[in-house]
Amino acid sequence: MRTTLKLAAATLAFGLILPLGAAADETMVKGEVTKVDADAGKITIKHGPIKKFDMDAMTMVFKAGDEAMLTQVKPGDKVQFHPDKVNGQFTVTKIEKAK
């Protein structure tokens, strides 16, 4: 009986924590594309603050998490993107044109 209760409690806790953590991790940042370098697989974005990295607004180069991203945007496009750190490099893992 105790094992069943512990398992039920762990399942409930995991179910409550995972969605909150996943939602917080998908925070999108507003920005403007200033350069796309398809050969290098990089995109330069003038962005607002990135709270997740305690970073102020600035212009910086990001690695594209997926090469297809580099064809979806062009300099001057207003975007929302999800930055992350992958293998020590700031990387855009998701990007979409702002509405």
Nearest of 19, 79, 27, 20 to residue 53 by alpha carbon: 27
How many angstroms separate the CA atoms of 99 and 87, rounded?
31
Q: What is the mean pLDDT of residues 1-15?
A: 47
Q: Is residue 12 part of a domain?
A: no
The number of folded domains in the chain is 1
- Nearest C-alpha neighbor of 65 from the set 97, 38, 96, 41: 41
In a domain, 46, yes or no: yes
Give the contacts of 80 (CB within 8 A, at least 6 positions apart).
Answer: 28, 29, 30, 31, 95, 96, 98
| Beta pairing partners, 82 | 94
Residue 8 lies in a domain: no
Judge contact between 64 and 91, C-beta under 8 A. Answer: yes
Q: Is residue 84 part of a domain?
A: yes
How confident is the model over 20-42, as pLDDT tens digits? 444 445 689 999 999 999 999 99
Question: What is the model's pLDDT at position 1?
Answer: 55
Residue span of the structural domain in which 45 resides:
29-97
- Asked, for residue 10, whether it belongs to a domain, the answer is no
CB 69 within 8 A of CB 45: no
64 found inside a domain = yes
What tokens does 62 get?
């990001």
Q: What pLDDT does 10 receive?
A: 47
CATH of the domain at 43: 2.40.50.320
pLDDT band at 99 (very low <50, low <70, confident <90, very high): confident
* pLDDT tens-digit series, residues 37-94: 999 999 999 999 999 999 999 999 999 999 999 999 999 999 999 999 999 999 999 9
